[in-house]
């Protein structure tokens, strides 16, 4: 359903989201909005911080929108849940997204709720046909409710899967195809999972249908003393994740890349130096794609 005569597709033409973006997190926002670095091409926000809130958050968002396209990334509408969605929130979210004129919205392919209990972690789904059926139906339900293109994001996980399911990438592709959905491809999550569960991350990327990828996330992660990698978004992006990003961009082309940093936030200049590194990878990798 479209309201106010607005076409989401037209926004992509008007203010294209391209290149390197950064998360408009509260701890960074004042300096980011004052300095408005030209190397930052767009910003990402979590709508839960803004819907029905107003105040300082809304002021920051209004300031950001003067110069940057804004992309939204949800935290609370987990696409694999089986409990009914909060219809009131989805209606508010749809209104908020229309106001922002976003080209797509994203949510996680995970569980975040059991009964009336909400988790603060994004819990993985079983990689089964049954879960893929439910998640694809739920994704379509959310997409209809918000009236916007919807991308799912692949998540990190720490508990081993059973032996009778699909490989993670086959599960993600199954949901994408069944729901005819877009993909927010988090290469750090793939890298973390590949090290924790011993698979080839580049083989994962090779199986992704490139035409569905609308956005990429990169981040740093924590390595525990026992070797387990935890997706914290609290460290600089490691070289192996940069390498996987380069490989991914050569496959999918010039898809916008977000630097996710949500914890242990350093001075802005440190993040901007990571943004510079991302730009150099983005430019050289997408030149390879164009040449191919």
Provide the binding-site residues for Fe ion, judged by CB under 5 A.
Answer: 186, 217
Kindly give, in sequence order, each residue whose CB lies less than 8 Å from that of residue 4, ignoring residues fewer than 6 positions away: 98
Minimum separation from the CB atom of position 110 to Fe ion (A): 11
Residue with tokens 């390879």: 288
Q: Are 219 and 259 in contact (CB under 8 A)?
A: yes
Cβ proximity to Fe ion: between 217 and 221 the closer is 217
Is the CB of residue 154 less than 8 Å from the CB of residue 100? no
Nearest residue (CB) to Fe ion, 6 versus 26 = 26
Q: Smallest distance, Å, CB 218 to Fe ion?
A: 8
Minimum distance from residue 156 beta carbon to Fe ion (Å)? 9
CB of 256 to Fe ion, least distance (A): 13
Compute the least distance from the CB of residue 186 to Fe ion, in Å: 4
Smallest distance from Fe ion to CB 232, Å: 12
Between 63 and 265, whose beta carbon lies closer to Fe ion? 265
Which residue, 174 or 260, has its beta carbon nearer to Fe ion?
Answer: 260
Structure-token pair, residue 85: 């969605």
We find the least distance from the C-beta atom of residue 106 to Fe ion, in angstroms, to be: 9
- Coil, helix or strand for 35? helix
Q: Residues near 188 by Cβ (< 8 Å), separated by ≥ 6?
A: 156, 217, 218, 219, 220, 221, 231, 237, 241, 260
Task: Report CA dihedral (137, 115, 51, 67) to the nearest 10 degrees.
Answer: -60
Buried b (16+ CB within 10 A) or exposed e, 23-36: bbbeebbeebbeee
The residue among 79 and 147 lying less far from Fe ion, judged by its C-beta, is 79
Q: Among residues 25 and 147, whose Cβ is nearest to Fe ion?
A: 25
From CA 57, how far away is CA 60, in angstroms rounded? 5
Q: Which residue is listed with tokens 């819990």?
A: 123
Residue 15: name the closest of 71, 53, 55, 58 by CA: 71
Closest CB to Fe ion among residues 174, 186:
186
């Amino acid at each position: 359903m479209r309201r106010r005569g607005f076409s989401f597709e037209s926004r992509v033409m008007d203010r294209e989201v391209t290149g390197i973006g950064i998360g408009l997190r509260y701890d960074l926002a004042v300096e980011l909005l004052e300095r408005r670095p030209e190397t930052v091409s767009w910003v990402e926000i979590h709508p839960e911080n803004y819907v029905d809130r107003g105040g300082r958050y809304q002021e920051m968002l209004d300031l950001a929108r003067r110069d940057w396209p804004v992309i939204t990334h949800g935290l609370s509408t987990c696409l694999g849940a089986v409990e009914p969605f909060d219809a009131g929130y989805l209606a508010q979210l749809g209104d908020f997204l229309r106001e922002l004129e976003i080209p797509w919205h994203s949510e996680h392919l995970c569980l975040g709720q059991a009964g009336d209990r909400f988790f603060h972690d994004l819990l993985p789904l079983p990689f089964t046909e049954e879960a893929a059926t439910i998640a694809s139906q739920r994704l379509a339900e959310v997409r209809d409710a918000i009236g916007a293109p919807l991308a799912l994001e692949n998540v990190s996980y720490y508990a081993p899967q059973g032996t009778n399911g699909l490989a993670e990438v086959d599960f993600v592709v199954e949901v994408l195809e069944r729901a005819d959905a877009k993909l927010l491809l988090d290469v750090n999550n793939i890298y973390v999972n590949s090290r924790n569960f011993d698979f080839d991350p580049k083989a994962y990327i090779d199986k992704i249908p490139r035409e569905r990828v609308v956005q990429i996330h990169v981040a740093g992660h924590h390595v525990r003393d026992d070797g387990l990698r935890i997706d914290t978004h609290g460290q600089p992006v490691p070289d192996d994740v940069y390498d996987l990003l380069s490989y991914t961009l050569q496959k999918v082309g010039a898809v916008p890349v977000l630097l996710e940093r949500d914890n242990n936030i350093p001075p802005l200049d440190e993040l901007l130096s990571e943004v510079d590194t991302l730009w150099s990878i983005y430019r050289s990798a997408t030149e390879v794609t164009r040449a191919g």
